[in-house]
Chains A and B, each alone.
Chain A
Amino acid sequence: MKVTFPHLGNVYIAAKALFQGLGIECVIPPLSNKAALEIGSLYSPEEICLPFKIQLGNYIQSIEQGADTVIITGSCGPCRFGEYGEMQMNILRKLGYDVKFIVADSPSDIGIRELFKRIGYMTAYSNKNKIQKIKSLFDAIKIIELMDSVEGEARYKSGFELRKGECKRLLNKCKSEAFNAESPGEMIEVIQHYNEKIKNVEFDAQKNPIKVAVIGEIYTIIEPFSNLYIEDRLMEMGVSTKRRLTPSWWVKNTALSPLGLNSMDIKKASKDYMALCIGGHARECIGEAVLAKEDGFDGAIQIFPLGCMPEIVSKAILPKISKDLGLPIMTLVVDEMTGEAGYLTRVEAFIDLLERRREDVLSRC
């Protein structure tokens, strides 16, 4: 058995460690790329959302490299994501690829037995004992958390750094060295090392960079290829960014949600504008916009794939929030046709606007 999985930001690094720990062979799809998107769009229904298409491209590129089992997580709220597995299976079967799908649905949907059965199917290929298996899982979770911390710090601090480009350089080095580590243990050490380094990046006390919150549909904000590497671009412009939705946030949120203890800050912040969970991560998007203001950010950028149902609801509400709080918010809708030039112009214009607003405020007082 050779497993593969769809990309989502830095998760592939942790996944590599997980399968290595379990002793299961795995094919990591090439980082999401144009060819993957093209293949994916070719075989996907036209109106399906962008994440579906990129994921399908990921699988096909992996299958071509020998993968025979695809692992995906199942539903996460009333949205299309819950149906992805079934449709992707049908498409791959029709294309003549003989692959098995393991869908890790939530136990409330399929029953805890079925979930164990599905996971058991995979771990049966592992020759490790139970303790080792559990350890690999914990290692992987730790890696996800550490990577998110490194990335988050780097993106936020880059606006303040004394030596231009240092944060970016550290982040990239961390990713590549972690990925090339020999063992999960070594990987954790590498990331910890960089985590310290980034924490100690020297600040320029004179700097007061523009700060932007990145909000919106979870996949398109986490998977850099799908948003045309917006965080990297902003980093290059000297803008500090913050994104609350990360893979480790997702893990924690999913684990705590049966108890209703998940993301209390976001829930509280969204209360005045959207008190209920409507599916996808619309409520988070709303809450994060409010929090961005509270945290002193200059603006927020909402990103979602064309046709994304929950985010369209958020988009209808954001202008009101923007007006009430005086926080500029820009929406970027992405799909396979999104042209880079126009997209970047809009981002630049938005940052300009934020800068001008600051000057206005300064000159007024």
Chain B
Amino acid sequence: MKIGLPKGLLNYKYSTFFETFFFELGTEIVYSSDTNKEILDLGVKHCVDEACLPIKIFHGHVASLRDKCDLLITPRIMQIRKKEFICPKFCGLPEMLVNSIPNLPMITTAPLYFFSKEKLYSWCIASAEKITKDRSKVKAACTKAMEKQNNTSYGIKNQGFRKNIALIGHPYNIYDSFINMNLVKKLNKLGVGVITEEFVEEKDLDIQIQKLYKRPFWNFARNAFGFSTFMAEQKKIDGIIYISSFACGIDSVVIELIKSGIDEFPFMVLKIDEHTGEAGLETRIEAFVDMLGGGINYESNLSPLR
């Protein structure tokens, strides 16, 4: 049995879990290639027009794998933390895929809750149904996968730059360098270091979200709001860049929450879709870096010997 693991969406964060689980069950794993133009085009072709770029790209990854495997990992992630939700498009992802892309192999449809061991285990049982009936094997694989996932660290924390910014955005916007057009590299070249939300402590997040009238509804809102307001308050950074996709309902809210939480702190939103041009993006980044006072002698950063 061949398992297809599409890149894209939260697989950027949880691929370790899926990989380990299916590897332990003795199956072969096929990956989709890194996002590229073909994948994007495939996605645009198969996905509903109104969807956001990351969802379209995921459709592309899935379509590119459909003839290469027997079971596709299309995680229906319902919740990551208790009482916090994620985007409805994740909850309805398998339905979107089967009804939009013809000739799909089997796909995983069981709901996935990351906050509870039991629920993760039930996902594993359901997803391994066609592979093995051996419960103890599934349990062992599940435990191992959880351990490995918990030991994997994510995040970007550049060191040694004169100016630093906090980079906010959904993991797939931050880690997919096709989507963000190598944003991190571009910033580094301009002499700007990047730090992402993984490097803030839970307790600091908790303090920050107390400032909201209402406990954030989404897991993502909690992280993004807590992280950016904390970093701005502590003056640990010089500015904030938020990378977002057009038509993202969650971002439209989180951006506003952050804006009202950081006052005048330098903040830029980069919005992308399949029509975004690289030149325009570069100009905006440069202008922002200039504003932070970082662009003036950035060349000296590149060639310190001169």
Binding site for B on A (CB under 8 A): 45-49, 74-75, 78-80, 82-83, 85-87, 89-90, 94, 103, 105, 109-110, 273-274, 276-280, 282, 306-310, 312-317, 319-320, 333
Contacts and interface: CB of A to CB of B under 8 A. Distances in A.
Given A79-B249, A80-B249, 5 more contacts: A90-B260, A307-B50, A313-B89, A313-B91, A316-B95
27 contacts: A45-B255, A47-B246, A47-B249, A47-B251, A48-B252, A78-B88, A78-B218, A80-B250, A82-B214, A82-B217, A89-B213, A90-B260, A105-B214, A110-B214, A274-B95, A276-B91, A279-B85, A306-B50, A306-B247, A307-B252, A312-B51, A313-B88, A314-B92, A315-B48, A316-B51, A317-B96, A319-B99
A86 B249 contact: no
Nearest to B47: A316
B279 interface: no
B96 A313 contact: yes
Contacts of B248: 47
B89 A309 contact: yes
A308 B247 CA distance: 8
A112 to B, nearest CB: 16
Contact of B249 (A46, A49, A89): A49
A103 B214 contact: yes
- Nearest 4 A/B pairs, CB to CB: A78-B85, A278-B91, A313-B92, A279-B88
Interface in B208-223: 212-218, 221
A79 B88 contact: yes
Interface string B136-159: 000000000000000000000000
Contacts of A48: 252-253, 256
A309 B55 CA distance: 11
A120 to B, nearest CB: 18
A244 B255 CA distance: 34
B48 A312 contact: yes
B91 A75 contact: no
A320 B11 CA distance: 27
Contacts of B54: none
A316 B96 contact: yes
Interface of B: 47-48, 50-51, 76, 78, 85-89, 91-92, 95-96, 99-100, 111, 212-218, 221, 246-253, 255-257, 260
B123 to A, nearest CB: 13
A322 B266 CA distance: 49
A359 B255 CA distance: 52
Contacts of B249: 47, 49, 79-80, 307-309
A45 B256 CA distance: 7
Given A80-B249, A80-B253, A317-B95, A86 B88 contact: no
B88 A90 contact: no
Given A105-B214, A316-B100, A333 B91 contact: no
Nearest to B260: A90
A218 B106 CA distance: 33
B257 A274 contact: no
Contacts of A310: 88, 92
Nearest to B76: A276
Nearest to A317: B99
A89 B78 CA distance: 29
Contact of A316 (B91, B99, B256): B99
Interface centre among B86, B95, B96 (most CB of A within 10 A): B95
A278 B92 contact: yes
A48 B253 CA distance: 7
Nearest to B83: A109
A94 B259 CA distance: 12
B109 to A, nearest CB: 9
Contacts of A312: 48, 50-51, 89
B27 to A, nearest CB: 26
Contacts of A46: 252
Interface centre among B50, B100, B256 (most CB of A within 10 A): B50
Contacts of B86: 78
A86 B253 CA distance: 10
B245 to A, nearest CB: 10
A338 to B, nearest CB: 14
A249 B170 CA distance: 35
A310 B87 CA distance: 9
A280 B217 contact: no
Contact of A87 (B218, B246, B247, B257): B257
A86 B214 CA distance: 7
A313 B47 CA distance: 10
Contacts of B51: 312, 316
Nearest to B214: A86
Interface centre among A82, A85, A306 (most CB of B within 10 A): A82
B276 to A, nearest CB: 15
Interface centre among A46, A282, A310, A312 (most CB of B within 10 A): A312
Contacts of B111: 276
A49 B85 CA distance: 18
Contacts of A78: 85-88, 91, 217-218
A81 to B, nearest CB: 9
Contacts of B218: 78
Contacts of A320: 99
A331 to B, nearest CB: 9
A85 B89 CA distance: 23
A214 B100 CA distance: 23
A320 B102 CA distance: 11
A135 to B, nearest CB: 31
Contacts of A279: 85, 88, 91
Nearest to A45: B256
B87 A309 contact: yes
Contact of B88 (A110, A282, A315, A317): A282
A83 B214 contact: yes
Contacts of A276: 76, 78, 91-92, 111
A83 B217 contact: yes
Nearest to B216: A83
